[in-house]
Amino acid sequence: MESKDYMPIWRKKSILIGSPTNILAALTAFIPVIYLCIRYNCWPDPKLVLSAWGMVVISFGAFYVVEPVSYYAALGMSGTYLSFLSGNIGNMRVPCAALAQDVTESKPGTIQAEVVSTMAICGSIITNLIATTAAAFVGVAVVSLLPEIISEGLKSYASAAIFGATLGNFGMKYPKVAVVALVIPVACKLFGGVPAWLIILLSVFGTVLFSRICYVLEKKKAVTGEGEGYALE
């Protein structure tokens, strides 16, 4: 079998294992709350629960769609299940998967990229667990010893630096797409009045649409033999 013939098998197995595992994790997350409610007979008002859930949906509902779509290229099928199960997707799983694919020269969408990203994510999860456990004991003490300017910088700019590095990694491979990915949110901020969740949606799906258009035009050029044309690079 060729490598491309393994992809349908890989995806089928990933869905078969990943879907029930993630659903089970979501359901078991309610066990501590249900236990406390039963143990102390302190059931919350259903209206209050629905109101709180509605606020969460309004604040983070866009991410339910945006994150799986925008991260899939780097994470792959099984990596997506692992990442959403373990968390720390943007600042840990995506950079690890992207770097692993870059080092091994794996093309996204191939079985090699799926295997490489899955191994990288599994390694990051184990490392994350060890680091988190260590940080729980010594992290606060270490941060308190750092100069104020460094500790404040870590708190304020660590996430932005990680996302910037990830963008730079992909931008070097697909500069045209990177330019569009930057122009859309900057334009939205300059014109003002656009809510953050809408900027995220426009940025993600606008970039995906541009990439798709370039891909289709490039394929047409390749078929007609007119050169590289609208290559993403």
Q: What is the mean pLDDT of each run of 10 residues along the chain (233 residues)?
A: 74 90 91 91 86 78 78 86 86 86 84 90 89 75 77 77 76 83 86 78 84 84 62 56
- What φ, ψ does residue 102 adopt, rounded to 5°? -70, -45
Exposure string of 43-68, with b = 16+ CB inside 10 Å and e = fewer, is eeeeeeeeeeeeeeeeeeebeeebbe
**What residue type is assigned to position 135 of the chain?**
A
pTM: 0.65
Q: CA-to-CA distance for 165 and 124, rounded, in angstroms?
A: 17
pLDDT at 226: 52
pLDDT at 88: 81
- What φ, ψ does residue 73 adopt, rounded to 5°? -60, -35
Domain extent listing, the chain: 3-158, 174-233
- Token readout for 51 is 């109101």
Q: CA-to-CA distance for 18 and 7, rounded, in angstroms?
A: 16
pLDDT at 23: 92
Is the Cα dihedral 110, 129, 89, 58 positive or negative?
A: positive
Q: CA-to-CA distance for 33 and 53, rounded, in angstroms?
A: 15
Contact (Cβ atoms closer than 8 angstroms) between residue 77 and residue 14: yes
Q: CA-to-CA distance for 224 and 142, rounded, in angstroms?
A: 62
pLDDT at 20: 93
Q: CA-to-CA distance for 68 and 59, rounded, in angstroms?
A: 17
For residue 89, with 0-12 CB atoms within 10 Å meaning exposed, 13-18 middle and 19 or more buried, which class applies? buried
Q: Measured over all CA atoms, what is the biggest interatomic distance in the chain, rounded to whole angstroms?
A: 73
